[in-house]
Amino acid sequence: MARGQASTTSPTRRVPGEEAFGAELKDQLDRENARIIVGYHPLTPMSTAEHWAALRYLAPMLLQARLRPRATRNVLILLLPVVVHYQRVGLELSPDRLLSRATIEEYLAGEGRRHTPDVRKNVVQAAGQLGRALHLAEYPPKFPGYPASVWNLPYDLSDWQAFIDRANRMRRETHAEETCALIDLCFAAGARRPQLERIRGTDISETRGLVRVTMTVKGEVQHRPLGGRPAERTLAFARQRGSAYLFRPDGRGDRPHAIQRVLEQLQKATGVRFQIGRAAASWELRMVQAAGIRAPFDILGIGAKGHTVMRLADECPRSDPREREAILMRMLGDYKELP
């Protein structure tokens, strides 16, 4: 393998310092199909030695944080350049100082100036996500009403994948994860297993848009997902005054009465009140807890394949994995007879 292309997951070649990176962390990155290639970084050029030094520095923090594999990958990629920058100038920073807002802002004002605005924003968010997971004083929990044991409840990846595989065999589908994310979001909104088990697979589908509607067009019954073209597929539920307001960023999409029927079904099943509203606002996630609302999220975004939902689910207290499996199996029970 050529210099600069050594992989952290190579079973044949041992790279100095690879053991310190942590087998568990490498396994998480393998599951995300996001192997970190030493000597290459999409944001900042760095040598192999610098890359390994930064990995050795971040690995203990990431292992302690117990983030999901996807979040681990994102935090690692975004914070590696920060670590490399301060190692180049000879500063040895403690985790709390590295992740402090002042340090991140200093990096972005200098070395990180060449990053795009989106990357700069993501670096700040990654530092906050890791800081909260490590319970640093500068990053208190976003939703202090929830105990740390619930907020940081780790997923058992083997169990998680096992019941997703079971659901996929039942449905012959590949997006059961999105329904799992929806379960977690309803759980965070206050719904519990008895309410969630009343949601049926005929009402909610994890194929194309997570939620689909049934409508009659010219006498023909049609099943349509929420949203059409990619620009219209991102929907958001903005929680205000105990209600969830559905809006489309571009003001277009499916007919309101069709969406309303789906929201009424969700309300009946979970006890969470949904209404349709409009807002000419960005659909970017804003994780702000609304006063007097138990749900720890203000905006629930639904992407074309549920990616935004899953991203938001990372920020929510999670339901018990065993209960989630039972709920998922109950929700998908309508499809057991599919060939």
Residue 218 has pLDDT above 80, yes or no: no
Residue 104 has pLDDT above 80, yes or no: yes
pTM: 0.42
pLDDT at site 300: 39
Question: In the predicted model, what is the mean pLDDT of the chain?
Answer: 57
Q: Residue for token digits 């067009």?
A: 217
**Rounded mean pLDDT, 118-133:** 86
pLDDT at site 75: 87
pLDDT at site 310: 46
- Residue 307 makes CB contacts below 8 A (sequence gap 6+) with none
Between these two residues, 248 and 262, which has the higher pLDDT value? 262
- 7 — phi, psi (to 5°)? -100, 145
Residue 183 has pLDDT above 60, yes or no: yes
**242 confidence band (pLDDT: 50, 70, 90):** very low
pLDDT at site 36: 61
In angstroms, the CA 45 to CA 140 distance is 33
Token pair belonging to 226: 């929420």
**245 confidence band (pLDDT: 50, 70, 90):** very low
pLDDT at site 175: 46
- Residue 335 makes CB contacts below 8 A (sequence gap 6+) with 170, 171, 201
**119 confidence band (pLDDT: 50, 70, 90):** confident
Greatest Cα pair distance in the chain:
72
- Gyration radius from the chain CA atoms: 22
Residue 40 has pLDDT above 80, yes or no: no
In angstroms, the CA 120 to CA 182 distance is 29
For residue 93, what is the DSSP state?
A: -
- Number of other residues whose CB lies within 10 A of the CB of residue 83: 23
In angstroms, the CA 302 to CA 293 distance is 20
pLDDT at site 316: 55
